Structure 1
Amino acid sequence: MPEDDQQVALAEAIADGVEQVTTPEVETPETFLTKLAETLKGSQGVDADLASILTDNLLTVGLHANAVANAKAAIVELAAKRAALEEEAVANG
């Protein structure tokens, strides 16, 4: 287990007489999800609108009770808008 390894390393450092021991920074779930969302939004080839929907609805620590339903509704709405734009382009085309 990583936590056990950290404790062993700390104990060894103390036993060796090291005055200042640094422990690795623990990443919280919120920090992880925030970094994941930023990476997703900043990646080439990723649909920015879809990434925004996922970030707003699913990549959060405290999920809303209807998070999946809200994400689904937002995706369906996005798809409908895009389909309407495509139909308009074909009609005018």
Structure 2
Amino acid sequence: MVDEDETAAPEETVVLDMLAALAAPETDVVETPEAFLSGVAAALKASDDVDADLAAILTNHLLTVTPHDNVIANAKAAILTLAAERAAPAGEQADG
């Protein structure tokens, strides 16, 4: 019989790895919010299973200690801009 871990999708594997790291025993390490958010941002950027452009948006807009007053609207606008860029044709094709 195949173990569930062997058939997990790459996204599930990343989540399982993050959960395992969080569950690992630590020795009274006090982490500041800035250090925590920086670590999350670095992990997102380093992962091959995470969209780099989306990770940058999350890092710049949401994973900050003192977010801008319009953080959600700004992040949404950045995501919509990224989606529009990706949906646009790569270049006009000549008829023929």
TM-score where L is the length of structure 2:
0.64
The root-mean-square deviation of aligned C-alpha atoms, in Å, is 1.8
Number of matched pairs: 68
Give structure 1 stretches of 5+ with no counterpart: 1-22
Which structure would you say has the larger Rg? Answer: 1
Please, which of 54, 57, 73 is the counterpart of residue 69 of structure 1? 73
Please, which of 13, 26, 30 is the counterpart of residue 30 of structure 2? 26
Which secondary structure does the structure 2 equivalent of 1:40 belong to? helix
1:79 aligns with 2:83: yes
- d(CA) in 2 for partners of 1:25, 1:45: 28
Say if 1:24 and 1:88 are closer, same or farther in 2 by CA, change over 3 A. Answer: closer
Please, which of 44, 57, 60 is the counterpart of residue 48 of structure 2? 44
After TM superposition, which residue ranges in structure 1, 4 or more long, deviate above 3 angstroms? none
Q: More helix by proportion, 1 or 2?
A: 1
TM superposition shift of 1:88: 3.6
TM-score where L is the length of structure 1:
0.66
- d(CA) in 1 for partners of 2:32, 2:90: 46
- d(CA) in 1 for partners of 2:51, 2:71: 20
Give structure 2 stretches of 5+ with no counterpart: 1-26
